Amino acid sequence: MKSLKEYIKEAEEKKVAIGHFNVANLEMLWGTFNAARSLDLPIIIGVSESERNFIGLNQIIALVKSLREEYDYPIFLNADHHKSFEKVKEAIDAGFDAVIFDGVELSFDENIKITKQCVEYARKQNNGTLVEAELGFIGSGSDIKDEIPDGAELKTKPEEAKKFVEETGIDLLAPSVGNIHGIIKTGNPKLDLNLISEIRKSAGIPLVLHGGSGISDEDFIKAIKVGISIIHISTELRIAYKNALKLSFQDNPEELAPYKILKPVVQIIQKIVEKRLKLFNNIG
């Protein structure tokens, strides 16, 4: 099986993007995995610090590894938005395929310092773990926001991206290009496509689009063409999970079996992930 790095390179060459979907439990994992298998596409499973704590660090590793081995399938695991070297180190040691050091709240120099520390540690382990970092303001929280948060205008500068990559040696970069984590009630801002293109050229490494929920299909398609290779989706799945679970309880108030109550949740997650993967991979 090819490595995650090889799949990302292949995605760049084909002008498609790999879907990255955050999960918090087994239902979300199965829904996402079933969608990927139905389309025969590689998939990245993401867990934030809180999500990995809820599932269990070693448990999420075991779950993803079991799916990869049993089905001989390219499913990869990413430690999403880890905010300290210590947490990144734990993920690398546990066997994650990729890690993200989220240092956007730090100064530019401090972000470089800790990111470089993460990269150097990953390289010493020599297990192929990719290291990603963020640069610019993308906000926080996979939730629904009343309005665009303050700081959204602070986009990543191409020259800073170039310097950041050169000084840290990261494998992937998540820039701020008009994307915001979560969904904005008044409408998410449009992506700055020219900026994405400029950053990809100056950074020289694959780019990751965070805050995918709420972005228009048109912007997704254009962003992939100009340099985005991985797209994160989380809030959209959380909303669907909550709504499907609520409806399941309403439709079956006397049902006690969790596997029956939760079946519609798995199905709606699969449906949404399939739709996103088709879009990201220019299918249909």
pLDDT at 1: 87
Q: What is the pLDDT of residue 262?
A: 97
User: Does the pLDDT at position 187 exceed 90?
Assistant: no
pLDDT of residue 223: 95
Confidence check: pLDDT of 211 > 90 = no
**48-70 per-position pLDDT tens digit:** 999 999 999 999 999 999 999 99
Does 252 have pLDDT greater than 70? yes
pLDDT at 143 over 60: no
The count of C-alpha atoms lying within 13 angstroms of the C-alpha of 17, restricted to the half-sphere facing its C-beta, is 28
Q: Which residues are catalytic?
A: 80
pLDDT(184) > 50: yes
Q: Report whether pLDDT(105) > 90.
A: no
User: Which of 43, 45, 2 lies closest to 24 in space, CA to CA?
Assistant: 45
- Residues 52, 55, 57, 59: is their CA dihedral positive or negative? negative
Q: How many CA atoms lie within 13 A of 96 on its CB side?
A: 28
pTM: 0.93
Give the model's confidence band at 251: pLDDT under 50 very low, under 70 low, under 90 confident, else very high: very high
Residue in the block written with tokens 């303050």: 150
**Quick one: pLDDT at residue 169?**
98
Q: Is the pLDDT of residue 279 over 60?
A: yes
* % of the chain at pLDDT higher than 90: 81
Measured distance CA(202)–CA(161) in Å, rounded: 7
Question: Which fold is adopted by the domain 4-280?
Answer: TIM Barrel (3.20.20)
Q: Tell me, what's the pLDDT at 186?
A: 56
Report pLDDT for 231. 96
What's the Cα-to-Cα distance from 57 to each of 89, 95, 96, 164, 173, rounded to whole Å?
Answer: 12, 10, 10, 29, 24
pLDDT at 230 over 50: yes
Question: What b/e sequence results for 185-222 when a residue is b if at least 16 CB atoms lie within 10 Å of its CB, and e otherwise?
Answer: eeebbebbbebbbbbbebbebbbbbbbbbbbeeebbeb
How far apart CA 110 and CA 165 sit, in angstroms, is 14
Q: Could you read off the pLDDT of 19-57 as tens digits, one per residue?
A: 999 999 999 999 999 999 999 999 999 999 999 999 999
Q: Note the pLDDT of residue 145.
A: 47
CA distances from 100 to 122, 123, 137 (A): 12, 15, 15
